[in-house]
Amino acid sequence: MDHKGVFEALIEQLMQLPGVGRKTAERFAFFILKMPSESAKKIATAIIDTKEKLFFCRVCNNMTEEETCRICQSSARDHQKILVVEEANTLAAIEKSGEYKGLYHVLHGTCSPLTDHEGGNAAVKGLIERVRNESNPILEVILATSPNIDGEATALYITRLIKPFGVKVTRIACGVPAGSDIEYADEVTLVKSLEGRREVYS
């Protein structure tokens, strides 16, 4: 393979990344070409390590370097609550808030008629197994799927499957985002926020 072949191969590989077209891939490739060898090797090693050393937790499907993730292993967490999220990056955002101390379950997708039940279906089976497991009784399943039609459909689907086990199923609140002005909220968001209103204590 000549120099042009090597460079072209790099561009083609970079174009596999989401949102990266030919122009952006070329820009990245030229940047890599100009960067020190050490830095380029670090990028390559990080990619290889991610593929070889990172797995999905066998319990919650979170990213981990061991069989089970640090959240599932932690005795400081509330093992009677499971918070269901669509993707691992949602889990990271919730962890960043520091408010939630229970366990998670990552679906890696949604179970919606719009997506032909693809993606999250296998993970939902894992969630049901966790709820059915009598050695570690679950008291509450919190559904933190996105407040769009895919997320709502997924929440309805999971609720339908879990309710027969007598477990409390809750949905995260939906309404006006903090720091915004109510006058700019659309009617659906306003209705949702009114439905989910709570009593104010002095």
> Which spans of this chain sit near other proteins (rule: CB under 8 A)?
18-19, 112-114, 116, 147-149, 152-153, 156-157, 160, 177, 179-180, 184-189, 191
Would you state the structure tokens that stand for residue 86, as one six-digit string? 């669509």
Gap between the terminal Cα atoms of the chain: 74
Q: Which of 71, 123 has the CB closer to other proteins? A: 123
Q: Which of 58, 160 has the CB closer to other proteins? A: 160
Least Cβ distance, residue 189 to other proteins (angstroms): 5
Q: Which of 60, 157 has the CB closer to other proteins? A: 157
Least Cβ distance, residue 85 to other proteins (angstroms): 15
d(CA 119, CA 114): 12
- Cα 82 off chain centre by: 14
Closest CA to 54 of 42, 45, 66: 66
Q: Which of 19, 166 has the CB closer to other proteins? A: 19
d(CA 132, CA 190): 37
Least Cβ distance, residue 91 to other proteins (angstroms): 17
Closest CA to 131 of 102, 170, 164: 164
Least Cβ distance, residue 153 to other proteins (angstroms): 5
Least Cβ distance, residue 109 to other proteins (angstroms): 12
Q: Which of 68, 159 has the CB closer to other proteins? A: 159
Long-range contacts of 160-164 (CB under 8 A, 24+ apart): 161/124, 161/128, 162/127, 162/128, 162/131
